[in-house]
Structure 1
C-alpha cells in the first residue's frame, strides 16, 4: 500500500509480513486512541488532557532541534501530575518562499495548523494526532502538543527491525493516515513524523504545520493492500459538513482553507466509495 508518500510505506511495510485479502470492513480498534487517556497517570479523557496542557504550571523549557521552526520541549506540572509537551510558535506565510530545496507558491508554516489538524483528526474520530492546544508561554503564543514518552519514529523502528505488533491494526492506521492527510492536504508526511510505540501497538501522527493548502484535489492513493475505513470514520466522513468544520476551525484557518477542507472531504468520500473502501452508513 502506497498512500501518497511511497517512501513512508516502503519503509513501514518492510517490517510488515505479507498480508492477504483485506477484511470486508475494518474494526474501530484503529480509532480507539487508547493511549490518550493512559497518559498523565490515568487522566479520564482528552478534555482533561487539553485542560492540563492549557493550565498546568510551567516547570522547564528547552530547545530541541536546529530547524527553522525552533520547537521547544516544556515540562508542565499540576495537581501532582507532570508531563512534557512540544511548543511551536512558527508563523510564516509568503507568496513565494524558499523553505526546503525549492520555492513553493503560497507556502505557509503555522503553529495554528497543528491545532487545526488535531481538531480535524478528532472530528473524523481517527484519534492518531496527540492532544494539541493553543497556549501562551512566556509571552509567546503557539501550539502545545502532548509529548509521547517512549515513542520512536518509523524510520528508527525500521532501522532497528522493531516488531510491528498487530499487522492488521498497523495497516488500518496507515489507511487512516491517508484519510487525514487528504483532508488537511498534508504533503509533508514522511517516516520521521510517524511515531510508534511497538510494544503497545501505538501510532501517532505529528508535524502538520505545513498543511491546509487551498488545493481542491486529493493526494494520490495507490493501494497495494487496501484496508476499508472503519465504520465510525466512514460515518464522520459522510456526515461532516462545512458548518461543523467552521465551528472547530474558525480562528485557526481562513474561510477559504476551511471550504477547501470540506471540498476535499467530498472528493475523498467519492474516491473511497469508488474503490469500495468506505463502508455504507445505515
Structure 2
C-alpha cells in the first residue's frame, strides 16, 4: 500500500471543510480499474500553532504512523510524506467508515448515565441544547490500543471524531499532527481506562519499540522529528514499562475542545 501511496497520481476531488488545517480528499486510478482514495494534507495548508514548530504537522502524522506500525498495532492507516497537487504533504489511506445508524460510534454521546453495554463513561456534561449527556467510549480492544498509543506519542488532540469504525471491522485513529512534543500534552477523550494496568501483551510490544528506537526506526523518525522528540518518545515508553499503568488526567485541559 505504501508504494501505491508514493507513486499514485493524485487528483483532488473534495475537501474536509470541518478540519482545522487544509485537508483534501484525492483519488488516483489503479491498473485494475479501481480508484485509490486518500487524505492529503499539504504542508502549506497547516495553521501555525504557538507550541508546535511551523510546517511540522505532516511529518508528525508520518512519525505517529511509524510508531503504530513498529508496535504492530495497526491503529493508524498507512501514512507517508510526498509531493502532491499543492506541494509536499501527508498522504494517508482513506478509511470507509460504518454508516450512521448502525450502532454507537467508538466515541459517542448518550443520555446522562444511560451507558450502553460495552462502553465506559468519561464525563457528564450538557449538550448544545442543554440536555444532560454522558461522553462514552467503547471497550473495544482496538480502541484500548489507541489509548495506549496516545500516551506513547503524547497525543494532544484525540477527539471523538478521530476514532473511526471502519467497514472492515477495524477501529482506526486519524489526525496525529499535534503529537510527539517533548512536553506533556496528552489531551484525549479516551480516559475510560485511566489508572488501570496496561495489558502484558502491549508491554511486550512497547519493549520492542523502545529497543528499536536507537536503530533503523529512530533513523526513519529522525526524518520528521528532532533528537529531543525521539528521546522523549523513548522516555515515555520506558516510563510505561517501569510503571505499567495508564495515566490519570494531569492537566486543566485533559480533553480537547471541541470533543468531536
TM-score between the two structures when normalised by the length of structure 1: 0.63
Aligned to 1:233: 205
Kept in 2, the 8 Å contact 1:187–1:211? The answer is: yes
- Structure 1 residue 166, shift from structure 2 partner: 11
**2:103 aligned with 1:141:** no
How many residues align structurally?
Answer: 216
Aligned to 1:77: 29
Aligned to 2:230: 258
Kept in 1, the 8 Å contact 2:194–2:246? The answer is: no
C-alpha change, 1:50 and 1:224, in structure 2 (3 Å) is same
C-alpha change, 1:53 and 1:159, in structure 2 (3 Å) is same
Instruction: Note the 1:121-132 alignment, pairs <5 A.
Output: 121-132=68-79
Q: CA RMSD in A?
A: 3.7
Distance 1:57 1:212 in 2: 30
TM-score between the two structures when normalised by the length of structure 2: 0.68
Please give the secondary structure, in 1, of the residue aligned with 2:219.
helix
C-alpha change, 1:90 and 1:166, in structure 2 (3 Å) is same
Distance 1:218 1:157 in 2: 17
Match of 1:177 among 146, 149, 163: 146
Aligned to 1:201: 169
Distance 2:187 2:19 in 1: 26
Distance 2:219 2:200 in 1: 25
Kept in 2, the 8 Å contact 1:50–1:131? The answer is: yes
Kept in 2, the 8 Å contact 1:118–1:132? The answer is: yes
Please give the secondary structure, in 2, of the residue aligned with 1:242.
coil
C-alpha change, 1:164 and 1:201, in structure 2 (3 Å) is farther
More helix by share: 1
Higher RCO, Cα 8 Å, sep 6+? 1
Match of 2:155 among 166, 186, 196: 186
C-alpha change, 1:251 and 1:235, in structure 2 (3 Å) is closer
Aligned to 1:278: none
Gapped regions of structure 1 (runs ≥ 5): 1-48, 98-103, 276-282
Distance 2:162 2:109 in 1: 15
**2:15 aligned with 1:63:** yes
Distance 1:219 1:271 in 2: 20
